[in-house]
Amino acid sequence: MKKVVTFGEILLRLSTQSFLRFSQAESYKATYGGGEFNVAVSLANYGLDAEFITRLPDNELGHSAIKEMRKLHVKSENIVLGGDRLGLYFLETGASTRASNVIYDRANSAMATIQKGTINWREIFKDADWFHWSGITPALSESAAEACLEAIEMAHELGLTISTDLNYRSKLWQYGKQPHEVMPKMLQYSNLILGDIDTAYFMLGIEKANPDYQDEASLPKLYDKIFELCPNLKTAATTLRYSVSASHQRIGGVLYDRQKIYNAAVQEVTPVVDRVGSGDAFMGGLIYGFSEELFDKQRALNFAVAACCLKHTIEGDYNLVTKEEVEKLLSGDFSGKVSR
């Protein structure tokens, strides 16, 4: 595969340490993250050529975000500087019966105020064959939604594969439009969609279905409605997540290609070090699976689930694991034996 381009917002993440609550925090750990960037990091770690496009403020916080991208081997040359502030979010990490908590502080960020026409997509896509975006960007602001649609249309025109993580965030979408007013025309170009059926229905304006993912017989019919509204769609996939507690997750996955339902076995993850970004790790694993030469859908799904499991063990938003580490899990070795 040639270059994968992802587009979205990167945030400064300020998280309390050692399970402290916000009111106990005397300091915040500072890292970076954002759905589409996290996907780019996964791909770079697996050896793919990954580029991230965003808009950042021209101050030390914006520059530090670029330093982080370079460190992680994600291309940042086409990032545009401008706007007033870096978006950020505060994270309180839960444990056991207490859930994690996120306070977004991203309104009016450089990315939220991006305008159509800011990015030279034709130039960027020249040597790319995959474009990834998520439902977070159109949730930021009307102009961000337009800037994203512009990218999608150009990617489609130039024949890139387009993947989308639906990523519904109820705390966003504050600018007066509902997802179903914005998303359908954006999703029509997607070739691969990640998200559960009800989120897709919600964004496409279809009524809630309460799918039973264990019942493989019923799934194709439910998925077909999505395919009907998304004429370019070839594959839909979902992470299956069973939350026993904030510290104990069970992770599986389902993939449908209009012909067959693929299932990945459910894996136990306990304790959870950091679950933020685990969906992005799944997405990154899936794209990587699709990029492999002898591409096999079952293996791609399994790879995505194993990558997602590993992400839960790593602090921060990104999945800092190699292809070989994911494959060790794929091969069935969950023993956690010390390598020495």
Q: Which of residues 44-73 bind a copy of itself (CB under 8 A)?
A: 59-61, 63-64, 67-68, 70-73
Report the b/e string of 73-84 with b at 16+ CB within 10 A. ebbbeebbeebe
**Residue 267 in contact with a copy of itself, rule: CB under 8 A:** yes
d(CA 115, CA 83): 11
Nearer CB in complex with a copy of itself: 231/271 = 271
Site for a copy of itself in 183-242 (CB under 8 A): none
Q: How far is the C-alpha of 237 from the C-alpha of 301, rounded, in Å? A: 8
| The one segment of 10-18, 46-54, 208-216, 231-239 that binds a copy of itself by CB under 8 A | 10-18
Return the residue of 271, 296, 298, 327 that touches a copy of itself, per CB under 8 A: 271
Nearer to a copy of itself, 159 or 336 (CB): 336
Q: Identify the CA nearest to 261 among candidates 206, 209, 221.
A: 221
Tell me the closest approach of the beta carbon of residue 173 to a copy of itself, in angstroms.
12
The end-to-end CA distance of the chain, in Å, is 34
**Of residues 139, 238, 151, the one with CA closest to residue 182:** 139
- The pattern of x and - marking residues 156 through 185 that bind a copy of itself according to CB under 8 A reads -------------xxx--------------
Q: Give yes or no for residue 113 binding a copy of itself (CB under 8 A).
A: no
Binding a copy of itself by CB under 8 A: which of 5, 192, 203, 329?
Answer: 329
User: In DSSP terms, which residues pair with 89 in a beta bridge?
Assistant: 13, 104
The rounded distance, in Å, linking the Cα atoms of 138 and 30 is: 26
Which are the contacts of 123, defined by CB distance < 8 A and separation ≥ 6? 78
**Could you give the CA distance from residue 83 to residue 59 in angstroms, rounded to a whole number?**
10
Minimum Å gap between C-beta 8 and a copy of itself is 15
Q: Which two tokens stand for residue 321?
A: 């694991």
Determine the interface stretch with a copy of itself among 115-123, 146-154, 270-278, 285-293 (rule: CB under 8 A): 270-278
The tokens describing 32, both together, are 């970076």
User: Which stretch in 11-19, 125-133, 143-151, 283-291 sits in contact with a copy of itself by CB under 8 A?
Assistant: 11-19
- Using CB under 8 A, which residues numbered 67 to 106 contact a copy of itself? 67-68, 70-73, 84-86, 88, 90, 92, 94-105
**Among 1, 107, 158, 229, interactor with a copy of itself by CB under 8 A:** 107
Interface size with a copy of itself, residues (CB under 8 A): 83
Write the single-letter amino acid at 314. Answer: I
> If binding is defined by CB under 8 A, does position 336 make contact with a copy of itself?
yes
User: Which of 198, 209, 245, 266 contacts a copy of itself by CB under 8 A?
Assistant: 245
Give the strands of the sheet with 248-256, arranged side by side. Answer: 50-53, 3-7, 128-134, 161-165, 192-194, 235-245, 248-256, 261-269
Q: How far is the CB of 234 from a copy of itself (least distance, A)?
A: 30
